[in-house]
A and B are shown apart, each in its own frame.
Chain A
Amino acid sequence: MLLGCFTISAPAIVEARIYLSITQVQDIFFPKEVFNKNPILVDDDLQKKIRIISGVRHPFRGDRIWKTANGSWLIVDEVLGKHEMITYAVAINSKGEILGIEIMEYVESYGYEIKDKEWRKQFIGKTSNHPIKLNQDIQNISGATLSAKHVTDGIKRVMAFHDLALKSQ
């Protein structure tokens, strides 16, 4: 038995995990099916409607939508948490039921404002157009269960969008 009480200098994590490409997601949900990109123009009125239903504030992008020959949909969206940005895909069958959800990309500490000066230094002069160097080596981290609530809200908005814009197609 061992009890370790220690304080050691800790490296900062800016973790990016890329799980799946869109082709891989299509292959998981709809293997061997023909896909067509089906972009939708999301006007202000539609943006507002889905924002009210889902509570997700940042604009929905209508250019990551695919349709299969038999009327199923694949929609890619992202959610912004306080600490993270998550890109995910929702597969919906022709009856409007969710077939499944896959996380495609997970970027931790995205946009995170932190008081630690040393930590913050590395971000100086960097914006979202100028991506920070991501640490892909630090994985397998124990602790701090990150709530997936943002993804749950995101799925709600994808379904709201499906209801309002895709169902009738």
Chain B
Amino acid sequence: MTRCKVFLGTYVEISIGDQDGVSKSLAREAVNEAFQEIALIDRLMNIHNKESDLSKINQLAPLGITKLHPQIYEVLLIARDLYQQSNGLFDCTYDPKLDRYCYSFDDIQWFGDEYIKYKKPLHINLNGIAKGYAVDKAVKVLENFGIPSGLVNAGGDLRLFGDKPVAIYIRNPINPLLVNAIGNMKNIAIASSGNYLQSHLFNPQRRSTIRTDSSFTVISPQCVYADGLTKVLASLGHSKHPCFFHYNSIGLIIKG
């Protein structure tokens, strides 16, 4: 069974094939639940929706101590880890449109678990890892249902689970209708960033956008790290940074 729905501004595909020992009704229930999990993440973390939990946190946290939704707390811990491991190359508080303000992830003050306050009028934007995080969460739901293998793909950030090898392709950065085959894989997450259709890459340390024709792909055990590390790879232009080793990840650059 393969289904596709629209979440997080893109097409999210869940494919679980015809499974041995899994009834059709259980497979359907599992896929429905997995989509619901992604829908929840979309609702919580969509910064284009002023009513989303993340938007409300961005409004309240500059004013005082604000409680986080447990799921946002979980993503923010991952974002903090990525920020620290990458020496600031992944920074979900950096906004190229507000370049003149000098703040970083360090300007978030933590009060025990699930409470934060912004020391400066910054904004958290989780778009850099939300898709990868949603993919991981959906995979977890499917695994909890006992689905032995499958794939979740959120607009090109994807994760394979189970022991079935699947052919994986990466879009060509110059012409997205061309693809490069990178081989058969299993139990792996892969995410790519590039300026494919519009320019959106930036380097939070140099506080500048990245002009490039290349695409940046990261292969990791979990999709959230693959997703986050593509931005680090794009900023560095190489993967000789200890954070790749730390997350058991491989960086791949396709020259445009």
B244 on the A face (CB < 8 A):
yes
Given contacts A11-B181, A13-B177, A112-B177, contact A103 B197 (CB under 8 A): no
| B170-A141 in contact (CB<8A) | yes
| B250-A1 in contact (CB<8A) | yes
Segment of A50-58, A147-155, A157-165 engaged in the interface with chain B: A147-155
| B245-A1 in contact (CB<8A) | yes
Given contacts A1-B239, A10-B172, A106-B4, contact A142 B217 (CB under 8 A): yes
Residues of B within 8 A of A141 (CB): 156, 168-171, 179
Residues of B within 8 A of A149 (CB): 9
| B5-A102 in contact (CB<8A) | yes
For the complex, would chain A's binding face be called helix, strand, loop or mixed by DSSP majority?
Answer: loop
B176 on the A face (CB < 8 A):
yes
A70 on the B face (CB < 8 A):
no
Q: How large is the interface on A (under 10, 10 to 19, 20 to 34, 35 or more residues)?
A: 35 or more
A2 on the B face (CB < 8 A):
yes
| A2-B192 in contact (CB<8A) | no
Residues of A within 8 A of B (CB): 1-8, 10-14, 17, 19-20, 28, 83, 100-103, 106, 108-109, 112, 114, 116, 119, 137-149, 151-152
Residues of B within 8 A of A (CB): 2-6, 9-11, 13, 28, 131, 151, 153, 155-158, 160, 166-173, 175-181, 190-194, 196-197, 215, 217, 238-240, 244-245, 250-255
